[in-house]
Each structure stands twice: as structure tokens, then as C-alpha cells.
Amino acid sequence: MADFDLIVIGAGPGGYVAAIRAAQLGLKTACVESRETLGGTCLNVGCIPSKAMLHASELYSEAASGALAKLGVKIDKISLDLDTMHAQRRDAVKGLTGGIEFLFKKNKVEWIKGHAAFTSANAIEVAGKSYTADNFIIATGSSVTPLPGVEVDNAKGIVVDSTGALELPKVPDHLVVIGGGVIGLELGSVWRRLGAKVTVVEYLDQILPGMDGDVRKEANKIFKKQGFEFKLSTKVTGVQVKGKKAILTVEPAAGGAAETIEADCVLVSIGRKPNTDGLALDKAGLSVNAREQIDIDHDFRTSVPGIWAVGDVVPGPMLAHKAEDEGIACAENVAGLTGIINHDVIPSVVYTWPEIAGVGLTEEAAKAKGEVKVGKFPMLANSRAKTNHEPDGFVKVISDAATDRVLGVWCIASVAGTMIAQAAQAMEFGATSEDIAYTCHAHPTHSEALKEAAMAVQGKPIHM
């Protein structure tokens, strides 16, 4: 008889949620985690601490820029207390990771501390001890993709990854971000607001790869207005640390003359890679694909019976909420129920100012599949955004020209991350643009822009 019905390897958003759900369904469950705290990258050094810094830096920037004075809120003296800002970030992390530990105890999930390695298809070894289970869920997440020839040293604080960028003890004079994706733009925003000059070096010809084309162009304009400097279609060929400075060598992506950039800090944020090393997958009869991911079927089963996988180690977007939903669905499948997730309706959010969010197909991807109708509505014409002095951005609804079914929604707005939930739910129910257009939205709210964009699909918005 096995020690457990299920052992989950990894306690990030996919793993800890899967373990709790499995325990709720009556399975004897354990979860292996090597960190001192639960919650994985997301809670410890990712989503949560970055949002804590984004929120605090946003408030500081608003006060320091004089924007509040225009609203009649006058602040005579303002100063940055970076130590306190870091302390509130750590406090948020401590509270949330401790909350998961409480939920493990409440649901009788056993925490096995250490690194897991398979010894067979039904056994693992952790810290020199063997554990057997009828089922395993691999949820080991992802880590920062290294840039060849560039050594990250978070302790020195000169060439850092996202973890190190959260812990900088002082505001750098010049921060160079390698990679114009979500993580680079979010952390770049934090330090720009606190006073750093920020230069983003991106290999592609536009920032935010994978997002809708209109969104990418508009975001570029907004960030430039905020003071970001962009070097697009540019590759980094080397980074040298000299004393307390870094010297980057860059050249056009298509080839050409090299130039150098001096920086106080360099953030390497070119993506993430699955954490599959060290699991001894071969001993369980498993292998990884060309992207080092574990392939699964529709139900999250791997090629080995009894071994399942979710989150960043499997194909699909590397997003915490995707991992959570997969964790719940997978645990339900392990328990003999029917767990499903609609991978066509997974929202993505960039928590900059304003926020950027999307769900479903981009206009480019939708047009490649057939004829579409598109409706756009500017936030400048939305009464709540105008009242709040938040004119930047728009909402865009893409629908199938024949059926009017919504295929994608993209928006840039101060609360885009919250607004996108309505779009995702509408799409989950197979909504048409007409369904959204004829749904009564509270006034005055930012979400009215989604209603108007849906009306614009038929060419009939009211406030434009």
C-alpha cells in the first residue's frame, strides 16, 4: 500500500492549490516544497511582491509628480523611504505564504520539505527518505531564462534577475532592462517611478510579444511618455561588470555596428524556463520536449500512468492563474471527477500604469482564422476615466463576422486587470458582442468602455 493517494511536487500556485483541492476531495495528500515558505515563485519573488512594489511606487510617483496638487491635494514635502517600502512588500509575502501553511494544516495536507527526485514511477526520494504514492502531480514551476554569456549576481545588485530587482537597496541612476516583456516593464516601472532612468533593450521590433498589435503600439507610446527609453530590434551581445557599473554591448538584431551602454543596474528578463532538472524524470519513464516541458493530454496526464503535470512545466502561457485552474482540474481528475479548463479563455495582465490586459485571440490571430469585426472605444471618452484624469488607453472587442461570437478582448486602462474578468466570463459563456452591448453596465465605471467597444463592433457606440 502506498504512503499517499497523491503527492504534489511543488507548492506554487499550481501545486498548493492542487494539494488543497485533492485533500478536500478526500485524498491522502502530501506536497513537496524545498523553499522555507510555501507559494512558489508567485508569492515569494514574483506576482505578489512585484505588485506590492508597483502599488507603493505608483502612490509615491503620483505624489512626487504633482499630479495630486491638480486634484486639490497639496503635499509640501515628500521623500522616499525605500526601506519601509521593501518592508511592506516582505510583510505582504509573509502574510500570504503563512496563509497557505495554515490552509495545508486545515486541510490535512502534509508538507514534505526538500527537493523531490523520482526513483521509479511510483516513488520519490526527498532529503534521503523514500515516499510512495498512487499518483503524482508535477508542479515545479519555472525559473528565469539565463542570457548566454551574462552572469546574474543578485547579491552584488549590478546584474540581476527579477528576484534581485525586487531587493535593490537603493534606486539606480540608470537601469537597463533586457527584454521588453511583462516582467521587465513591470519592474522597470517600479524603479522609473522611484527616480531611475530606464532603458529597455528588446530583440523584437516591438514590446510585449504575443499581445495584440494595437495594444503593443499604444503601450509603447504610453511608456515613452512616462520616460522609458526603448532600443527595439536590438540584441545584447555582452555585459561586463566594472566596479559598481555594468557595460552592455548591443547591436542591431539584424546585424550592424555595436555600441555600449553604461548602467548602474541591469535586469535580465528575457523569459522563463520550466523547472524539470533534478527531478530524475527518466527514472519514472518520463522525458521532456524540445522546450524542456512535460507533455500532457487534455486531462493533464503524462505518458506514464499515475503521473500528472500542471502549470509552467507543461505547454501554454506561464501564468499563475492558469496554473491554479489546472491544479484544481487535475486534482479533480485524480479523484475520479471531471476537471476541465478552457485554455482558449485565459486572461493575461500587465500591472503597469495604466494596466494592460487581454483574453482570447489577438486581432492578427483572429484574422488568420477568418473574417472578423472589430470595435474600439477610447478611455478618453469614458466618463469615469476622464473624471479620474486617466485618459490613456482603449478597449477593443474582436468578434466573428458571421456569428458575432467574441473571439478576443484587449484593453489598456487603469483597472484593465479587473475589467478583463467580465470579458473572460462572457467568452466562457460563448457571448456575442451584442450580448455585452446589451448588458446594463453601472455608471460611471471604467467597464462602460467595454460595453461601448462591443457596441462599436456594430458601428454604433453612443459616446464617440
φ and ψ at residue 355, rounded to 5 degrees: -75, 155
CA–CA separation, 396 vs 439, rounded Å? Answer: 17
Query: Within 10 A of 79 (CB to CB), how many other CB atoms are there?
Result: 6
* Residues across the chain: 464
DSSP 283: G
CA–CA separation, 307 vs 302, rounded Å? Answer: 6
List all residues 6 or more positions away from 237 whose beta carbon is below 8 Å from its beta carbon. 149, 249, 250, 251, 258
CA–CA separation, 212 vs 357, rounded Å? Answer: 10
Residue 239 C-alpha cell reads as 555585459
CA–CA separation, 462 vs 437, rounded Å? Answer: 11
Rounded to whole angstroms, the maximal C-alpha distance in the chain is 70
Residue 49 C-alpha cell reads as 511582491
Query: Per the residue annotation, which of 343, 389, 443, 463 is the catalytic one?
Result: 443
443 is catalytic: yes
Residue 334 C-alpha cell reads as 485524480
Distance of CA 106 to the CA centre of its chain: 29
What are the catalytic residues? 443
